[in-house]
Amino acid sequence: MTSSAPVVRVRDLRKSYGSVDAVSGISFDIHPGETFALLGPNGAGKSTTIEILEGYRDRTSGEVSVLGVDPRRAGLGWKARLGIVLQSATESGNVTVTVTEQLTHFAGFYPNPRPVGEVIEAVGLQSKAKTRIGKLSGGQRRRVDVALGIVGRPELLFLDEPTTGFDPEARHQFWDLVRRLKDEGTTILLTTHYLDEAAPGWATEPG
């Protein structure tokens, strides 16, 4: 474990909806370059936790710091340092444009994006680079979601159930990509209910 300041610091995080506790006092640190998993079945509070860290959902109580900032007070500069892959496959923006056009558009939002061709290759969509988003299968759109999450060279990458809709080969390719990102120094926080996808020693359970 590195002695540097954690990229993510969570202390006694709680989120309640009336009398229902979605997250009940979770605490953890994630240090630079680590890959960290939140484990648990559907409804365990994994997505709620990650959405709080991303700044999309407010917490009921507890302390949270992400890249040295409380997400409740973070600005656009902070958001540009994050990569986010949501839980469900999305429409991935404008479905009338091609994969290359969509990634090129999103890359323009970041100061030092990855080359679009490199990203397309990394997610295994070379043969679909000139295909319109609306013509892709659900699993292929999921790969576009992942591509959009990494194109900006994020310091911290959130992956919420990232392999949903992937076949076994695609899941294998995806984890190869995650290992490459880790080797490059990207800090990764993922949620999963697939226990075989979480290596022992870097997972915690919310709730």
Alpha-helix residue ranges (DSSP H) falling in 5-115: 46-54, 76-79, 99-107
Residues 6+ apart with CB under 8 A from 52: 13, 15, 23, 58, 59, 64, 71
Residue 206 has what pLDDT?
A: 57
Other residues' Cβ atoms within 10 Å of the Cβ of residue 160: 22
Other residues' Cβ atoms within 10 Å of the Cβ of residue 119: 26
Mean pLDDT is highest, among 60-74, 78-92, 188-202, for 60-74
- Are the C-beta atoms of residues 158 and 189 closer than 8 Å to each other? yes
Lowest mean pLDDT among 42-46, 87-91, 157-161: 87-91
Q: Is the pLDDT of residue 7 over 80?
A: yes
Residues 6+ apart with CB under 8 A from 32: 2, 4, 7, 185, 187
Round to whole Å and give the CA distance between 105 and 100.
9
Q: Is the pLDDT of residue 74 over 50?
A: yes
Sign of the Cα torsion 30, 50, 163, 177 reads: negative
Round to whole Å and give the CA distance between 147 and 116.
9
**What token pair was written down for 163?**
């392999």
pLDDT, tens digit, 9 for 90 and up, residues 147-186 = 999 999 999 999 988 777 677 777 787 788 888 888 889 9
157 or 41: which leads in pLDDT: 157
Q: How much is the pTM? A: 0.84
Instruction: Outline where DSSP puts E strands in 31-128.
Output: 35-39, 61-66, 82-85
DSSP state of 2: -
Cα within 13 Å of Cα(128), Cβ side: 23
Q: Is the pLDDT of residue 199 over 60?
A: no
pLDDT, tens digit, 9 for 90 and up, residues 55-69 = 999 999 999 999 999
**What token pair was written down for 129?**
């680079």
Average pLDDT, the chain: 86
Residues 6+ apart with CB under 8 A from 168: none
Lowest mean pLDDT among 34-38, 44-48, 85-89, 183-187: 85-89
Mean pLDDT of 115-140: 92
User: Residue 120: which H helix or E strand, with range?
Assistant: helix 116-122
